[in-house]
Amino acid sequence: MALSVMARSFLQSTDWHLAEAQALPYDMSDRRYWRLVGGPRPALLMVSTAAHEPIGPYIRVADHLRALGVSAPDILAADAEAGFAIVEDFGSGTFNAHLQAGEPEGHLYMLAVDVLAHIHTHPRAGDVDCPPYDQAALLRELDVFAEWFLPHATSVGDWTVFRAAFARTLDDVAENRSALVLRDFHIDNLMVLEGRTGVQACGLLDFQDALIGAPAYDVMSLIEDARRDVSDTVYEAAIARYLRLVPSQDETALRRDIAILGLQRHLKVIGVFTRYYQRTGRTKYLAHLVRLAGMVERCFAHSSLAPLLPLFSDACPNLAGDCRRMAALNG
């Protein structure tokens, strides 16, 4: 993908004016990245349209995370109004890449837990201009499932009855304002940074949509991954490590919130992956729907959600079967 005239003009105003811009693959995000080769230090050019994904929140949260002592990319140059930024290049060593290369999952997941615990126990973690992850926001995301997946279901009932009951279940966790929630905290957005130690050995990506809400959300996002099966051993070890590092957190409340927020997120992601297929015709994310349906079932097994299962079963009687049918489109 070629750079626009405006992007080239922005580069010309920076220390990377002589660098070669190599386009990187892109996915669901509207942001586009180019690796800048030949500049004064490794860097990426990030281009994002103000209408869809403004750069201002990315810069603000990145600066805040570094101030908390964790590794977010340095912002090396920016024109936020135009939608351009040059950011530190963390390389290509995502946690996912390391796992695919055969690295044991335990070490990487425990490092990720350490990062969350560091953020969640930092006294200034919430001192950043981010909206609350309140009930309205949680329900808007939940509605993505109803809007995009339910039209593909073989049978549907009354979604509004389940939605109203789930809204009441969300009441307590939706009022929690004790954590900076990065929201997409999973192995594809975490980087192994060689030469750094402690929590700084983990590089953070995709945090520009951060909100202030419940700490359980990012714990859940890490260990209930839409794209990867996490072993029961690592799942339980991650919860145990988090509880040890965050002694103020009650285990019963944490597991309850993981179930409630997990149900919200997994249904939302089923909707997001279906929307991506509808808009692009690309089927690759449909392969994950079966896993997501299984995680939805696991969430309903928690005592806080078990009473809602009949209502959901009426609204979407054949979630597992419908997800298998959709996943089969991926070949």
* CB atoms near residue 283 (< 10 Å): 16
Q: What is the largest CA-CA distance in the chain?
A: 62
Number of domains composing the chain: 2
Quote the pLDDT of residue 57: 93
pLDDT value of position 277: 97
* Nearest partner of 84 among 18, 32, 16, 19, judged by Cα: 32
The CATH number for 294's domain is 3.90.1200.10
**What is the predicted pLDDT for the residue at 26?**
78
Q: 260: buried, middle or exposed (CB in 10 Å: 19+, 13-18, 0-12)?
A: buried
Q: What share of the chain is helix, strand, coil (3-state, %, to 5)?
A: 55, 10, 35
155 and 12 part of one domain: no
Helix spans in 81-188 (H): 95-100, 105-121, 135-148, 159-174
At 1 the pLDDT is 66
Q: Are residues 214 and 78 in the same domain?
A: no
For residues 180 and 289, membership in a common domain is answered with yes
Looking at the structure, tell me whether residues 54 and 127 fall in a common domain: no
Same domain, yes or no: 25 and 105: no
- Which residue among 27, 58, 88 closes a domain? 88
CA distance 91 to 44: 10
DSSP structural state of residue 40: S
Which of 34, 69, 88 lies at the terminal end of a domain, its last residue? 88
Last residue of a domain, one of 88, 123, 154: 88
- In a 3-state reduction of DSSP, which class is residue 45? strand
> pTM score > 0.85 for this model?
yes
The residue segments making up the domain with residue 278 are 95-330
Q: Could you list the pLDDT tens digit for every one of the 331 residues in the chain?
A: 678 899 999 999 999 999 999 999 877 777 899 999 999 999 999 998 766 788 999 999 999 999 999 999 999 999 999 999 999 999 999 999 999 999 999 999 999 999 999 999 999 999 999 999 999 999 999 999 999 999 999 999 999 999 999 999 999 999 999 999 999 999 999 999 999 999 999 999 999 999 999 999 999 999 999 999 999 999 999 999 999 999 999 999 999 999 999 999 999 999 999 999 999 999 999 999 999 999 999 999 999 999 999 999 999 999 999 999 999 998 7
How far is residue 328 from each of residues 36, 125, 283, 286, measured CA to CA in Å? 39, 43, 9, 8
Pair (160, 45) in one structural domain: no
Residue 135 confidence (pLDDT): 98
Q: What is the CATH number of the domain that holds 42?
A: 3.30.200.20
Residues 296 and 269 in one domain: yes
Q: What is the pLDDT of residue 51?
A: 67
Residues 250 and 182 both lie in one domain? yes
Q: How far is Cα 74 from Cα 200, in angstroms, rounded to an integer?
A: 13
Asked if residue 274 and residue 152 are part of one domain, the reply reads yes
